Each structure stands twice: as C-alpha cells, then as structure tokens.
Structure 1
Amino acid sequence: MSSEPLVPAPPRPAVLSRERVRAAVESRRAQRVITVVILVNAATLGIETSPAMLREYGGALHAVDHAALYVFVAELAAKVYAYRLRFFRDPWNVFDFLIVGMSLLPTTGGLSVLRALRIMRALRLISVVPSLRRVVSALLTAVPGMASIGVLLALVLYVAAVMATKLYGAAAPGYFSDLGTSLLTLFQVMTGDAWSDVAQEVMAKHPSAWVFFVVFILVCTFVVLNLFIAVVVRAMEDETAADSRAASEKNSADRDDRILAELASLQAEVRALKDTLNGGLGAEKVRRETAAVRDIRNG
C-alpha cells in the first residue's frame, strides 16, 4: 500500500466561482461603492421633499433612486449566490434584505405610504460601516441592563409623582393636578426642560419645595441616567473586545490556510521529485507536475 501523502483535490468550479463573488462583494472597494451609493440615495430622497426641486429635477432624482435600488438588488443577489442559505444566518444580511425588499413593493394605491419609507435605505449604512455596526450591536447587548435601570427610573418617577401630587397639587394645579400630569411634569424636570419655572411656581407657596426638586434632579439626572451611560459604555467595551478576538481568530485561520496550501505544494514537489528519481516519469509528466505545483503556489 502506498504511503505517499495525499494532495487535497482542487475545488470545484462552482465553489471557486462563489468564492470569487464573495471576495468581490466583501472587498473594501465594493464596500466603499455601496457606502457612496447609500449616501447619494439618501441625499436625493431628502431633495425630493422640496416641491420646487422635485418639479425641476424630478426625472433625474427618480433615475438616481432607481439606479441605487438596482445596485442594492445586485449586491444582495451576489451575496445570496456566494453564501447561499448562510446568507440568512447573518442578522445584518436579513436587515439589508428587508430594507431593500421593502423598496421593491409597489408604491401606488393603498401602499403609497411605502414611498416615504424608502429613506430607510439610509439605515443600510449601519450594516456597511463597521463602527456603526459595532455601536448598534453594543446598544442591543446593553438592552437587558438598560431595562433594569429603566424599571428603577420608572419607580423613582412614580414615587415622586405621587408625593408631588399630594404635596403641590393645590399650589400648582397646572403641573401637579393629577398623577398623569405630575409624571409628565417630573419627566420634563428630569430632562432639565424649564424645570426652574416649575420649581418657582411651587416655591411661591411652598418655599421649602426646592429640597424636593434638588433631590429629585440629583437622583434621576445625575445618578440613574448616568447608569444608562455606564451600561452602554461597558457594552461598547465588550463589543470592541469581541471584535478584536474575532479578527485575531480570522487572522489565525487565514494563516493556517496558507500553511496548508504550502504543505500541499511541498507534497506535490516531493512526489514529483520522488517519481523523477525513480525513473517513473518522463519529461512530459515532469512538466505537468511542475505546472501543477506552480498553479498551487499561485493560489
């Protein structure tokens, strides 16, 4: 039985074709082109909101819009061909598919409202630009922690609203007449929107009310809201670390692929040399083996 090492069989033409398409659509040049198309399309959709500009350049604007849509459809078709069913395993690919698919729906009759949704194509910039994609991923990761803080904030608002309604409802009925109005007023105070006007009206009849407003602002604005920021920052750090690990693993996999390719090349060279030394190969077969080795090296 022969103990010669086996050289991996060359990939099938269909696989090579899909790999070439995948490399093309994922290349930096293609990503830059898609980014420019998204920005231009977003600009034209904004210009269309001006009746004067639409009357003057409506034909050109619609042509640019259709051209951008064709580019997006071609990009998605290429990705589906390259990745096949794996395309739908990536949430960002599904997001792009839904955004572009929405643009293909008819915009006449009862679906004319979809014309206004064409601007959602600009959201594709999130999936194209890695930094934006990282921010959105971090925000989604931070949702559970933000939900817990949101419950805490709602509890503080509710307690403060009940207290304000009972304490200051008669003094400032425009702000604290009932629980719903008090919640809205305190939310306004929390955001810092004209909170001094609210406080001054209440303090006209309750001079010590400043204590309530100062404590409320300190707790809600400077403590609870900063907890939201802390959760998002932590999620961003985790997302950046995950991206770094993924990039390191990808580089390691690429290095392993190069090593395997070199090993396959060396195996072919050793086998060709062995057969030549044993006198089992003619000059023509040596040339074929040499050409095969050269093809493997060239990739």
Structure 2
Amino acid sequence: MRERVHDVLESRGFQRFIITLILVNAATLGLETSPRIVASYGPLLTVIDHVALYIFVAELLVKVYAYRWEFLRDPWNLFDTAVVGVSLLPSTGSLSVLRALRVLRALRLISVVPSLRKVVTALLTAVPGMSSIVVLLTLVLYVAAVMSTKLYGTTAPQYFGDLPTSLFTLFQMMTGDAWSDITREVMDHHPTAWVFFVGFMLVCTFVVLNLFIAVVVSAMEEEHTEAAVHASEDAGAAVLKELADLRAELRELRDRLSGPEDR
C-alpha cells in the first residue's frame, strides 16, 4: 500500500495537479488585493483558498506516510512544511498581519518544479563563494565612503555629510540610481571628482558585481555537471540490471534446452 502511495506522489499527473493548484491559489491571493473583486467574489476566493490549504496539508500527511523518516531527510519537504505551517497560524486580532504570509504558498512552486529546484540549489551552493565577494565589496564601500566624506562632505553634505550618509549614497550609486546627477552636482565645485566616482563605479558595478554573476554561473555549471553524472550513473545501473536479467534468462533457457538432451 505504501509503495502505491509513493508511486502516486511521484507520478507526473499528481505533480501537475499540485503545480496547477499552487498557481490557482497564488492567483486567488492576488485577486484578494482588489477591493472590487473581494466585494463581488470574496466568499468564493475564501473557499478556494481553504480548499487549497487543506489539500496541501493532506499532501504533506500522505508524504509522511509514504516516505516515513525519509521525509525529514529531504530539505524541500521541510521547506514545504514551513510554508504550509505559516498558513495554519491564527490570523485574527493582533496576528492579522500573518494573513499576508499566505502568499508564501506560491513559493512551493520552487520545490515542485525540478528546474527551479536546480536553480535555487545552485544559488545556495554559491553562498560560500559569495561571502568573500561581500567582504570585498564592503571593504571597497567603506574605503570609498571615508574618502568621499573627507573630500566632498562640506561641498555636498546631503550626500556625503557623514559616514552613514556617504555609505548610503555610494550604495545608491552602485545600483546605478542617479549616480550621474550626484557626480555632476559635486563636479560643479570639484571638476576632478569624476575620477573618483568613475573609478568607484567601475570597481563596484563592473568588477565586483560581475564576480557575483561568475560565482553563480560556476555553481550552476557544477550543479548541472553533478546532475548529468548522477543521470549517467542511473542509466548505467539500469543497463547493468537489464544485462543481468538477460543473462539470467539465457541461463534459464540453456538449462531447459540441456535438460531433454541429458535424458
């Protein structure tokens, strides 16, 4: 019985049903943000939301029955449990803010779709490599903030009046938001300021941020390589099993044919 339930959970049809339910539930949660739609179809949206939640809970319970202790060893099962568990928390009175967390159920799409799982796994794998880049970026920001505060704090105090303000301004410039306007305003009093700001933008935007992309791409390539290796190993194991079964059938056939000759 448990094996049949396991096969149903892993079947493509069931996975498609869950994906469809997640999309429908996410759509209903989005429609609830419109007062006009809530006034017309509020009860229907609530029923759909509750039905989806009950199905998600039932799915998790069935998975616990089918997988037993293996359920806890899969991080994606724990992720699904946390997302669904948030929706079960009381959302009345002072906890009404928790109703907004119901939309987290849409994140279950990550654990259901294999391609999304691979992307998220690759991003998590890249976190250790990103930590070194974050330290480098923080160091560059700090040095540039101290320099800009000392150089341009008097000229543009709204941007570089103190260290926290300079850090925020430089972070804003690093994202590409109005960096040229800030630079031109400072250049009205310091014509050579473009050297500092262009150098900062080149280092942060075109070097450090590209390092982030390089680390993520490298992690995704490693994840793809590992998946290909596992797939080839599984295919090889399947071929070996078929060869073993074929040899067993040939041996059995040989024994049957040699039996009458001996008699």
Q: What TM-score do the two structures reach when normalised by structure 1?
A: 0.80
Q: C-alpha deviations, 1:67-118, integer Å up to 9, x for none? A: 2112212222222111101111000011111111222233223433221111
1:221-264 CA distances to partner (integer Å, 9 max, x unpaired)?
A: 11111000000000010111111122223333444555566677
Aligned residue runs from structure 1 range 26-175, under 5 A: 26-175=10-159
Corresponding residue SS for 2:155: coil
Aligned length: 259
Q: Distance in 2 between matches of 1:197 and 1:96?
A: 46
In the alignment, does 2:191 pair up with 1:215? no
- Please, which moves more after superposition, 119-128 or 99-108? 99-108
**SS of residue in 1 equivalent to 2:177:** coil
Tell me the distance in 2 between the aligned counterparts of 1:55 and 1:268: 73
Q: 3-state DSSP class of the match of 1:207?
A: coil
Q: Could you say what secondary structure the match of 1:97 adopts?
A: helix
Say if 1:67 and 1:25 are closer, same or farther in 2 by CA, change over 3 A: same
Residue 261 and residue 113 in structure 1: after superposition, are their counterparts in 2 closer, same or farther (change >3 A)?
farther
Going from structure 1 to structure 2, the CA distance change for 1:250 and 1:106 (only over 3 Å counts) comes to: farther
**Separation in structure 1 between the aligned mates of residue 238 and residue 194 of structure 2, nearest angstrom:** 64
Structure 2: where are the runs of 5+ without partners? none
Separation in structure 2 between the aligned mates of residue 101 and residue 269 of structure 1, nearest angstrom:
57
Indicate the RMSD between aligned Cα atoms, in angstroms. 2.1
Gaps of 5+ in 1: 1-16, 278-299
C-alpha offsets along residues 50-73 of structure 1, whole Å, 9 cap, x if unaligned?
122111101111111112112212
Code of the residue aligned with 1:115 in structure 2: it is: R
Relative distance call for 1:227 and 1:44 in structure 2 (3 A) is: same
Match 2:233 to one of 239, 246, 249: 249
Tell me the equivalent position of 2:173: 189
Q: 1:139 to 1:222 in 2, by over 3 A?
A: same
CA distance, structure 2, for counterparts of residue 71 and residue 257 of structure 1? 38
- Secondary structure in 1 aligned to 2:126? helix
* Structure 2: distance between partners of 1:265 and 1:83: 33
Alignment partner of 1:224 is 2:208 = yes
Amino acid at match of 2:57: V
Identical-pair percentage: 65
